[in-house]
Amino acid sequence: MMNRLSLPLILVGGLLLFVSVESKNLDPYKVLGVDRSASQREIQKAFHKLSLQYHPDKNKNKGAQEKFAEINNAYDILSDEQKRKNYDLHGDEVGSPGFDAGDSRQHGGYSYFTSGGPGQSGFNFKPGGWENMGGGEGSKSFSFSFGGPRSGKQSSFGFGLDDIFSNFFGGGMGGGSQFGGFGNSGRSQYGNRRPDESIPSVNSQLYRKEIVNNGMTWLLLFYTSNLRGIQYYESVIEEVAASLQGALKVGSINCDSDASFCKELGVHPRREPKIFVYSYASGEKGSLVEYDGGLDVKSLKNFCQDHLPRFSKRVNLGNLNIDAEPGKLPKVLLLSTKRSTPVIWRVLSGLYCKRLVFYDAEVHDASAPSVRKLGVDSLPAIIGWLSNGEKQILKSGISVKDLKSAIQEISGLLDNFEKKNKKAASDKKDHTESGEKNIPLLTASNFHDICGNKVPVCIIGVYRSSKTRDKLQKILLTVSQKSFSRRQNLASGSRDSVSYALLDASKQQSFLNALDKYEFRSSEKLLVAYKPKRGKYATFQGEITEEATERFLSSVLSGDVQFGKTTQKPILK
């Protein structure tokens, strides 16, 4: 039968073996192959490269598992700011004065370990510290101490068995290890950290508030704390997130602490962590899509890009009619040389999906007639249409430095455009509430209603500046209220039915090109009386006042004005 000393002797022998391994004191910088001045980005890249090379699931060579453990432990130290600082100062990530692995030459060829103050476990081995136990007169000796007595009981070697298990393996003989690989403490058998140490934690409340149907793509890691390789998954996800910074967000969900939430989502990470993307690639509402490809940055990045929002409609400039599309939201169009919708535009279409309508078109020549008609002189370019049909060039000749900064810059443009649209809508509301009839801006979408064949006469105020536009707006509003020229029901076919509109000559030059005299095409301000059914027009170019406008209109209705023939049917964009 094993005597009372046998078990402690076995335990001590095991501890000696364990400490001899730990006392190797591997330099984490050398393990990862980085300089001491390396940035966190450089450390992360080095870790990821080595993890791919030595991951036990991929590398079956002898020593790969041990090497992988060293890599994980090195990254565990250098990726944590405090641990790295402690290591740089003390040669130990804990940074405690009670730990000294030091240089073995300073202790006569031995390592010297202590751990803590009164009542705490501690041990040291140095010459002369352990009484000779049959090792021969010349043997070097070691001493061990594991704190104060517990319940008045100590072993014959100065420590209680419960103390060993309590302080080294956590919670007595039934506890889990603090060193990884000896129980369920939130680290894998390779010494992994919990994901929430590097990837933000997501709970059910945040998921519903920040993620569900908010337009942003999320890369989510589902895990339980006893799964292996969590840190490796983290590294790949962080690398992808860094390369797509601004295009997606990342989060981790602990299915141990949030089991009911994981069950609700139908996610069960049993053998290994699971990766999902909250995607808008297949519809207007987001959905969780599981990633089942290889655990490498390139494959996961491609998967994420494929699942970015697809809210932008691809159009052809040859038959472009965006402002005729139904809906009350303002519209934006991207012109680029890309064969498919660019990543930046897809991301923005998700972020602004409830505020703007997105379009994009492939264009390779800024001098093409279809591009010139839009008023664009360089590519890439973004064009916007306010809710009232007014077109604006948001930006042309866009330069992209990186994904994140480009998204921020274009977001600023879209925010300003949205503000202009709200102001235009507010001005229209003010006119309506004050009883004034709003004079609409003539566009391709409303041309048929305002100046179609059923309208006998269309009076158009042409302007090239905002100052002239405001003046014409005021005059036409007043004239339109006069009894002799009030617009009547167009369906009645009344001879004196008149419609009124404004035209931005700087953006609708094609309309003026239909007039046969060149001076009309370049006028700063102009009144045009247009008879759609007959394709005829008359103009007034003098000082445009309320009285002059009334006289011009009376002459038009009485037939005292000579009308000319348009060279072609007026075209609006």
95 φ/ψ angles, rounded to the nearest 5 degrees? 75, 15
According to the 3-state scheme, what is the secondary structure of 29-69? HHHHCCCCCCCHHHHHHHHHHHHHHHCCCCCCCCCHHHHHH
Residue 455 backbone phi and psi in degrees, to 5:
-95, 120
pLDDT at position 120: 40
pLDDT of the residue at 372? 86
Calculate Rg over the CA atoms of the chain.
Answer: 38
Give the pLDDT confidence score for residue 348 in this predicted structure.
96
Rounded to whole angstroms, the Cα distance separating 121 from 126 reads 17
Q: Which of 308, 318, 315, 356 is nearest to 336 (CA)?
A: 315
> Given the DSSP bridges, would you call strands 381-385 and 331-336 parallel, antiparallel or unpaired?
antiparallel
Q: Residue 387 has what DSSP assignment? A: T
Coil, strand or helix: which one is 460?
Answer: strand
**Cβ–Cβ < 8 Å for 490, 556:** no
Q: Left if phi > 0, otherwise alpha if psi is -120 to 50, otherwise beta: which for 55?
A: beta
Largest CA distance in the chain: 134
Give the model's pLDDT for residue 327: 66
Task: Quickly count helices (H) and strands (E) in the chain.
Answer: 18, 16
518: which residues sit within 8 A by CB, 6+ positions away?
A: none
Which two tokens mark 358? 């997105």
525: β partners = 463
Residue with token string 């093409």? 368
* β partners of residue 254: 223
What letter does residue 487 receive in the DSSP assignment? -
Task: Report phi then psi at 460, rounded to 5.
Answer: -120, 125
CB atoms within 10 A of CB 376: 22
Are the C-beta atoms of residues 310 and 281 closer than 8 Å to each other? Answer: yes
279 contacts: CB under 8 Å, gap ≥ 6: 217, 286, 287, 288, 289, 307, 308
**Predicted pLDDT at 266:** 95
The residue with tokens 């990862």 is 32
The residue type found at 455 is V
Alpha carbon of residue 391 to chain centroid: 29
pLDDT of residue 364: 92
Provide the whole-model pTM: 0.53
pLDDT one digit per residue (tens) for the chain, 573 residues? 444 444 444 444 444 344 334 434 689 999 999 998 898 888 888 888 888 888 877 788 888 888 888 888 888 889 888 888 888 887 776 654 433 444 433 444 443 444 443 334 444 444 444 333 333 444 333 333 333 333 333 333 333 333 333 333 233 333 333 333 323 333 333 334 444 456 899 999 999 999 999 999 999 999 998 887 888 899 899 999 999 999 999 999 999 999 999 999 999 998 899 999 999 987 778 999 999 998 889 999 999 999 999 999 999 887 777 765 656 789 999 999 999 999 999 999 999 988 999 999 999 998 998 888 888 989 999 999 988 778 899 999 988 788 889 999 999 999 999 999 888 777 655 555 544 567 888 887 788 888 888 888 999 999 988 888 889 999 998 888 775 443 443 333 344 478 899 988 888 877 877 776 655 666 778 899 999 888 888 888 788 999 999 999 988 888 888 888 888 877 776
Supply the DSSP symbol for 319: G
Instruction: Kindly write down the DSSP assignment for every residue of 218-253, as one continuous string.
Output: EEEEEE-TT-TTHHHHHHHHHHHHHHTBTTEEEEEE
| pLDDT value, residue 558 | 85
pLDDT tens-digit series, residues 65-113: 888 888 888 888 898 888 888 888 877 766 544 334 444 334 444 434 4
Name the residue type at position 191: G
Give, for 335, the enclosing helix (H) or strand (E): strand 331-336
- How many residues in total does the chain contain? 573
Two tokens, residue 157:
């070697």
Name the β-bridge partners of 246: none
Can you tell me the distance from the alpha carbon of 564 to that of 554, in angstroms, rounded to the nearest whole number?
18
Residue 344: what pLDDT? Answer: 94
Per-residue pLDDT at 128: 41
How many Å apart are CA 441 and CA 428, to the nearest integer?
11
**Spatial distance between the Cα atoms of 387 and 369, rounded to a whole number of angstroms:** 25
Helix residue spans in 497-545 (DSSP H): 509-512, 518-521
User: Distance between CA atoms of 214 and 316, rounded to whole angstroms?
Assistant: 29
**CA separation for the pair 226, 229 (Å, rounded):** 10
Helix (H, G, I), strand (E, B) or coil at 76: helix
The domains of the chain, with CATH numbers, are 6-174 (1.10.287.110), 195-306 (3.40.30.10), 313-431 (3.40.30.10), 447-565 (3.40.30.10)
